[in-house]
Amino acid sequence: MSYTMNVLEEVKQKNQGEPEFIQAATEILTTLQAYVDARPEYEEAGILERIVEPERSIIFRVPWVDDSGKIRTNRGYRVQFNSAIGPYKGGIRFHPSVSLSIMKFLGFEQVFKNSLTGLAMGGGKGGSDFDPKGKSDREIMAFCQSYMNELYRHIGANIDVPAGDIGVAGREVGFMYGQYKRLTSSFEGVFTGKGIVYGGSYARTEATGFGLAYLADEMLRQNGKSIEGKTVLVSGAGNVAIYAVQKVQQLGGKVVAMSDSNGFIYDSEGIDLDAIKDIKEVRRARIYEYLNYRPNAVYTEGRGIWGIPCDIAMPCATQNELLEPDAELLIKNGCFAVCEGANMPTTLEATELLQKNNILFAPGKAANAGGVSTSGLEMSQNSMRTSWTFDEVDQKLKGIMVTIFNNIAAAAKDAGAEGNYVVGANIAGFKKVAEAMMLQGAV
Ligand code: NDP
């Protein structure tokens, strides 16, 4: 068996009960196989054995008091996966499904994604099985403060810089940042996604969704197509989905459907984004309320968004939300591009099927890298004690996304897999991290 496949077998043996992590490792190692096995120096330096093992996984108790006075307990995590090219960097997720497996898959993906941005950021991820849905602002604050009461000793502007993810946005980052500052007396760039008035960057809120649309646009352009006039599906209705829809609409695309974990809406006239923002960002309500704003739209309970005919599909909700039967429907209905806004939203089988049918496929670790890229820009602004305008940040973001696309396209071509951007992204992301690890010795 080849070196790469041996390591993958070992990953499967050692991490039983961690399906998401095994899935991410399988995707990455399988696509790296030809590249790594042709270069014995990686095996000599034990690069793969090291790269699949987090440098550190921290698991801790998070007790907090709910509004009825009852003490509740959740489990907190921070996986510091790889610091070869910079301080650990990656979001924090609050969702009942959070487990060590999900933290490790996200942290592992983040290592390669952050490398692709060209900025000096290592990879990490954190979170908790805390469910923010239906909690009061006070309960959210109590939880965030308690989570930080442990996390603060493991992070720092040059050590580990968390950000938002599912269930964590401006409000939660503010509460966690405030508690960090209180515990350490240090006002530093220890978080990204901060409020503008205390060190946040313009365009960070929009960055992941905008970046996704920029990368999709570039991929389509270089393949003789464009977003203009196309019908687009965007799953999810959170931070990534909302700003993906905004930019797709600005680029002339027509988004006809969005979803949340209860169901999806279809609006043949095109999604009214102001309505979605009001429902999701202001009122934190369910997506079926869209019908109160646009009575002609249709709401369907449950999953099924990928059955709507479209040209372009953008999964922006969560992992494993686009399955093989969904891919079959997309192909049957004439979809020609899938661009991942979420992390690992498409299963391995679905990805393979889409690629076999020549669907342009932009993998999340490249396509959603606009968020962490702009986080990198936020860190730069904090270090320089300066603030760039929205347009300055947006222009830099656009430049980064075009560069990422060119790099993954070139890496795919060099590997003899032209047009396979999964292979391209994994090789391009891996090369820099592996080289840094080799230069730093057995660490
Ligand atoms: P949000 O919490 O803002 O939104 C998530 C959306 O997806 C919500 O509409 C939510 O619905 C839906 N969703 C979440 N979990 C599920 C589920 N199990 N089944 C169905 N729907 C679900 O998160 P973000 O927009 O920040 O993140 C979305 C994805 O993008 C994640 O994969 C994240 O890792 C990735 N990402 C985010 C970045 C960022 O900057 N925020 C950067 C890069 C990647 P409901 O409200 O009903 O739960």
- DSSP for 162-229, please give it: EE-BTTBSHHHHHHHHHHHHHHH----S--SS--GGGTPPTTHHHHHHHHHHHHHHHHHHHTT--STT
Are the beta carbons of 95 and 260 closer than 8 angstroms?
A: no
Are the beta carbons of 335 and 310 closer than 8 angstroms?
A: yes
Cβ of 382 closer than 6 Å to ligand 1, yes or no, is no
Average predicted confidence (pLDDT) for the chain: 98
- For 358, phi then psi, to 5°, come to 60, 30
Parallel/antiparallel/unpaired status of strands 263-266 and 298-301: antiparallel
Residue 10 has a pLDDT of 98
- CA 219, CA 222: separation in Å to the nearest integer? 5
* Nearest atom in ligand 1 to 168's CA: 2
Residue 293, helix vs strand vs coil: helix
Distance 358 CA to ligand 1 centre (A): 27
Distance 348 CA to ligand 1 centre (A): 20
Cβ of 208 closer than 6 Å to ligand 1, yes or no, is yes
Residue 213 has a pLDDT of 98
pTM of the model: 0.97
Segment 220-277, tens digit of pLDDT: 999 999 999 999 999 999 999 999 999 999 999 999 999 999 999 999 999 999 999 9
- CA 217, CA 228: separation in Å to the nearest integer? 9
Residue 1 confidence (pLDDT) above 90? no
Distance 185 CA to ligand 1 centre (A): 32
- CA 163, CA 173: separation in Å to the nearest integer? 7
Residue 307 has a pLDDT of 98
Percentage, residues of the chain above pLDDT 90: 100
Q: What is the mean pLDDT of residues 179-194?
A: 98
* Nearest atom in ligand 1 to 193's CA: 40
Query: Distance from CA of residue 198 to its chain's centroid?
Result: 24
Are the beta carbons of 206 and 246 closer than 8 angstroms?
A: yes
Parallel/antiparallel/unpaired status of strands 71-82 and 56-65: antiparallel
Are the beta carbons of 89 and 109 closer than 8 angstroms?
A: no
Segment 121-155, tens digit of pLDDT: 999 999 999 999 999 999 999 999 999 999 999 99
And the tokens for 219? 């991929």
And the tokens for 82? 């790889």
Cβ of 260 closer than 6 Å to ligand 1, yes or no, is yes
Cβ of 378 closer than 6 Å to ligand 1, yes or no, is no
Distance 372 CA to ligand 1 centre (A): 15
The distance between the two most distant Cα atoms of the chain, rounded to a whole number of Å, is 64
Query: Would residue 332 show up in a list of annotated catalytic residues for this protein?
Result: no
Cβ of 167 closer than 6 Å to ligand 1, yes or no, is yes
Burial group, residue 414, by CB count within 10 angstroms (0-12, 13-18, 19+)? middle
